[in-house]
Amino acid sequence: MKPITFLISLFLLTSFTILPDTKWLTNFEEAKSQAADTKKHILLNFSGSDWCAPCIRLRTEIFASGAFLEYAEDNLVLVNADFPRLRKNQLDKTQTLHNEGLAEAYNADGKFPLTLLLNSSGKVIKQWEGLPQKSPEQFVEEIKKTLIAGTTVSK
């Protein structure tokens, strides 16, 4: 194996093992309970995982970044309310109804992506409509500043 290939392989392997195993929940009640138990906030993301280009970019550019994952591991309970359109990606009926209920409560206008920062009881603290025009580090800093300031519902 060439040295450069070995180094690239080693980097990729360690990159994936260093990142925290941050899980996105799909059950909002479970997320609220977990957030209350761990004294964390909830980040709720409405996405169209197989049709919404800004949703896909948000997931790959910000939510999959090391900066976001490291912060989220210790500070956030992550919830994804997905609304896929392709038949092969359809959710089961129970999950679809659950996501529709979340949309009625938090995303009545049907905006995608829509990301909400909530307290553990589900009160909206901040929301982002569309793809934030920020680096992952800037996005994390905005969350931190919002929580420190105790700001409520701003865009």
DSSP string, 57-97: HIIIIIITSHHHHHHHHHHEEEEEEE---SGGGPPPHHHHH
Residue type, 60: T
> What is the domain partition of the chain in residue ranges?
21-149
**How many whole angstroms separate alpha carbon 11 and alpha carbon 9?**
5
- Per-residue confidence band for 14, with pLDDT thresholds at 50, 70 and 90: very low
CATH number of 21-149: 3.40.30.10
Q: 28-57 pLDDT, tens per residue?
A: 999 999 999 999 999 999 999 999 999 999
Residues in the chain: 155
Beta sheet of 76-82, edge-to-edge order: 24-25, 76-82, 41-47, 114-118, 124-129
Q: 55-113 pLDDT, tens per residue?
A: 999 999 999 999 999 999 999 999 999 999 999 999 999 999 999 999 999 999 999 99
Mean pLDDT of 15-36: 79
Question: What pTM, to 2 d.p., does this model score?
Answer: 0.84
- Residues 6 or more apart whose CB falls under 8 angstroms from that of 136 comprise 61, 62, 65, 66, 67, 68
Residue type, 101: G
